[in-house]
Structure 1
Amino acid sequence: MSVTILPSPLVTATWLFEHLDQSDLVVLDASWFLPGTDRDPVQEWKAKRIPDARYFDFDTKIADPDSDLPHMLPNENQFSQAVSELGIAQHATIVVYDSQGVFSAPRVWWMFRAMGHNSVAVLDGGLPGWEAAGYPLESGEPVAPQPATFRAVYQPEWVIDADTLHQQLEEQGCQVLDARPAARFYGTQPEPRAGIRCGHMPQAKSLPFTQLVKAGYFLDVELLRQRFDALSDQEQQLIFTCGSGVTACTLALAAELAGRKRLTVYDGSWSEWGSGLKYPVVQSGD
């Protein structure tokens, strides 16, 4: 059986087109839209997708069914079952894209890494970049994949919970980076989810994910390094947060591209931290 070797955690449309017929390659559409957006990612996937792309629903299907928080990472058994039903085998090489360029696809990249599967990459430029390059598209009702066997092995270093993060906020060995827009970080713009406080965690620094991408593509590696070097030391553990754990993963992928090694995502993110009064919140001027 041939094995497709990824050149990096980020691949170009040209690379994907040249490897699209590899038997072990699985392409996933991980499009997702913010609450209140009048768009249906599943219907858009059916209407226009990269050939043979399967839809990876991390929002409602491949998520912790027992959590009140949005699209929390499921446990390894739940993940294994859902991924197996998608026809993704243990040996698969996975490329994930979304319809906005680089937005929600890194979330699925992080999920697979957190579940012990390293042969996964994000398509730089996403579906718009693929389409702009003139590569083929597919539409209509997709063919259901044949179930496969996938076994997740949870990697706890990729994930942190709220209580553990709270304990680590004052430690010099870690730095929290927040991917939300700066206005939300500083509490001058309300949160989109009802009942969530405004502001940020103590000791956190603002790094909006939009500072790492341009027109749907990641910045060059050297620019990414500069962004992270300006906010953290090389050896620090980086803990990424955002509104609900999606764009935090864009920061995680950018940090890996920049050569950082100790990367962790706070899955609950501001949807958890900003609700209630359990955890400390700082606002602009505090």
Structure 2
Amino acid sequence: VSAKKAVEDYVATLQYVNSIIHNHHHDNNNNKSIIDARPADRFNGIVAEPRANLRKGHIPYSINIPFMTVLEPNDVTSFNMDMLLNNNKNMISSLLMGEGKEELIFTCGSGVSAAVLLMAN
């Protein structure tokens, strides 16, 4: 998903993600980032995944930005649009785009938490 414009109905293939991992391993100037929206304990493999047969841990070279960091702390059932537009949009973009990242791929366990970060971006 482009950080500048989201591509609708896009699913990153295993081959594409593997190419990003390979490029990160061999080239520190990679312009793509994989953002994992899961809580830190799941990202770090400290706790088990909630669905059976899923491995613990994270995609190599991915960055953890837990989806709860972009939600209103007192009411996670709705977005605070001012917060999203003024604070967190800048957080994600400046964190990554400032490093020359041109493409952000958001991931989680099922896609729901990743969508929260995509909307915040």
Counterpart residue number, 2:44? 186
1:179, 1:207 within 8 Å by CA — same for their partners in 2? yes
What number of residue pairs does the alignment pair up?
102
Question: Share of identical aligned residues, percent?
Answer: 31
The structure that has the greater radius of gyration is 1
Report runs of 4+ in structure 1 exceeding 2 Å deviation.
none
More strand by share: 1
* Matching of residue 217 in structure 1 with residue 79 in structure 2: yes
Q: Which runs of 5+ in 2 are unaligned?
A: 1-5, 25-29
Residue 112 of structure 2, aligned match among 242, 246, 249: 246
Equivalent pair of 1:178/1:205 in contact (CA under 8 Å): yes
- Structure 2 CA distance, aligned partners of 1:160 and 1:174? 12
1:231 aligned partner: 95
Shift of 1:201: 0.8
Q: How far is 1:192 from its partner? A: 0.6
Residue 159 of structure 1 corresponds to 11
Mapped partners of 2:95, 2:45: distance in 1: 20
Q: Which amino acid aligns with 2:103?
A: Q
Shift of 1:207: 0.8
Q: CA deviation at 1:230?
A: 5.3
- C-alpha displacement at 1:198, in angstroms? 0.6
Calculate the TM-score normalised by the size of structure 2.
0.73
Give the drift of 1:173. 1.0
Alignment TM-score, normalising by the size of structure 1: 0.33
Task: Report the CA distance between 1:225 and its aligned residue.
Answer: 2.8
Higher helix proportion = 2
Measure, in 2, the Cα distance between the counterparts of 1:250 and 1:229. Answer: 14
Mapped contact 1:205–1:231 kept (Cα < 8 A)? no
